[in-house]
Amino acid sequence: MKVSFHGHSVVAVETKSHRIIIDPFLTGNNLTDLKPDDVKADVILLTHGHNDHVGDTELIAKNNDALVIAPNELAVYLGWKGIKVHPLHIGGGREFDFGKVKLTQAFHGSAVTDEENKEIIYTGMPAGILLTVDDKTVYHAGDTGLFSDLKLIGELNSIDLAFLPIGDNFTMGPDDAKIAAEWVRAKRVVPIHYNTFPPIKQDPYAFAESLPGGVGKVMEVGDSIEL
């Protein structure tokens, strides 16, 4: 499969038969190279309900008749908008025709913010995503702080590629993400969730170089990796 990075936490995966996009925050994301109307996706995977992760899910899903897989409460919320959804919850996994999706813990929040009405809509627990296709596993940690069960995730899964947030302020910073990288034991680790907004400005290259064994890799917007 081909895995590409598109700014902030946006990751796209192409398999032999499906196009998958994770956390498609495009509108309002000055670092992405994608436009919502141009995205072709069969499946959308969401880690949590914050606007900078749900992003353009509704438009992309309706344009493509795509299946949205998300934590339960977020899936229910999106289902009410007429989107085709499949709910999962933390620790739960399911085999789909494109591969297996399992949700992991993430320590963060999860809500849709309606700024016009000054309303915050709770959308359940945040999550990370383990996506396994043809014996290759991609781990997208979502937004999270450092937590010790990342060790367990690394012990129980053979992770080929991990996407870890490094922005600090809202998630792990580089120092904690370095520990997380050690714990998840991925063959390659890519930093995400940085430089989109001033509070999360970081040097991804310094982070990648800090990881032992050359596992750190910075993906510029539009870069891809074949697994």
The per-residue pLDDT for range 179-211, each reduced to its tens digit, is 999 999 999 999 999 999 999 999 999 999 999
At residue 140, the pLDDT reads 98
pLDDT confidence of 146, banded at 50, 70, 90?
very high
pLDDT confidence of 222, banded at 50, 70, 90?
very high
Of 139, 144, 133, 166, the closest CA to residue 154 belongs to: 139
Q: What value does the mean pLDDT of the chain take?
A: 97
At residue 77, the pLDDT reads 97
At residue 82, the pLDDT reads 96
At residue 50, the pLDDT reads 97
Beta bridge partners of 94: 101
At residue 155, the pLDDT reads 98
What mean pLDDT do residues 6-22 have? 97
Question: What domains, with CATH codes, occur in the chain?
Answer: 2-205 (3.60.15.10)
E strands present in 148-192: 161-165, 188-192
What mean pLDDT do residues 38-43 have? 98
Q: Quick one: DSSP state of residue 197?
A: S
Residue 169 backbone phi and psi in degrees, to 5: 65, -60
What mean pLDDT do residues 85-106 have? 98
Sheet containing strand 224-226, edge to edge, reads 85-88, 67-71, 43-45, 19-22, 11-14, 2-5, 224-226
What mean pLDDT do residues 132-138 have? 97
pTM over 0.95: yes
HSE-up (13 A, CA, CB side) for residue 16 = 4
Residue 165 in tokens: 């947030």
What mean pLDDT do residues 152-166 have? 98
At residue 200, the pLDDT reads 98
Residue 70 backbone phi and psi in degrees, to 5: -155, 165
At residue 65, the pLDDT reads 97
Spatial distance between the Cα atoms of 210 and 216, rounded to a whole number of angstroms: 8
Q: Does residue 108 or residue 114 have the better pLDDT?
A: 108
